Structure 1
Amino acid sequence: MKIHWDEARCCHAGICVKELPQVFKVEDGRLEIDAEAAPEAEIRRVVGMCPAAALAIEEK
């Protein structure tokens, strides 16, 4: 599973960072994503919570 972040769509609500900080981290103003740092079900749940639909999952 690969997670894509669309910076142009992002409304910076911070839900992803608050819900799964081990996966979604802001470093130097950019969102860094570690898709291996949590169970897939948890990542899918948080991606689905994104109010701007700025996060998307690509199946491998």
Structure 2
Amino acid sequence: MLVHVDPDRCCGAGQCVLAAPEVFDQREDDGTVLLLDANPPAALVREVADAVAACPGGAIRLEEDPPR
């Protein structure tokens, strides 16, 4: 999976960090999303999907791996 974030859409709610702290953090200066791992392991797909669903600004997008 590939994770994309748009910091301009982020409102700093921090729901992504709560859902997947291995993948997301927040910038100290303004609280916007900080992507720690753009290509997290498949074991975290549920947590990342939860972060996408919980983001009030729609700032996170998940791209599934293409079929092989």
TM-score, structure 1 length as denominator? 0.75
Give, in whole Å, the separation in 2 of the partners of 1:16 and 1:58. 16
Q: Higher strand share goes to which structure? A: 1
Tell me the distance in 1 between the aligned counterparts of 2:54 and 2:42: 18
Tell me if 1:57 matches 2:54.
no
Write the letter of the residue equivalent to 1:32: L
Between the two proteins, the alignment pairs up a number of residues equal to 60
RMSD (Å) for aligned C-alpha atoms: 2.3
Offset at residue 23 of structure 1 (A): 1.5
Whose relative contact order is higher, 1 or 2, with alpha carbons under 8 Å and at least 6 apart? 1
- Larger-Rg structure: 2
Gaps of 5+ in 2: none
Structure 1: gaps spanning 5 or more residues: none
Q: Report the more deviating stretch, 23-32 or 44-53.
A: 23-32
The CA deviation at 1:36 is 2.4
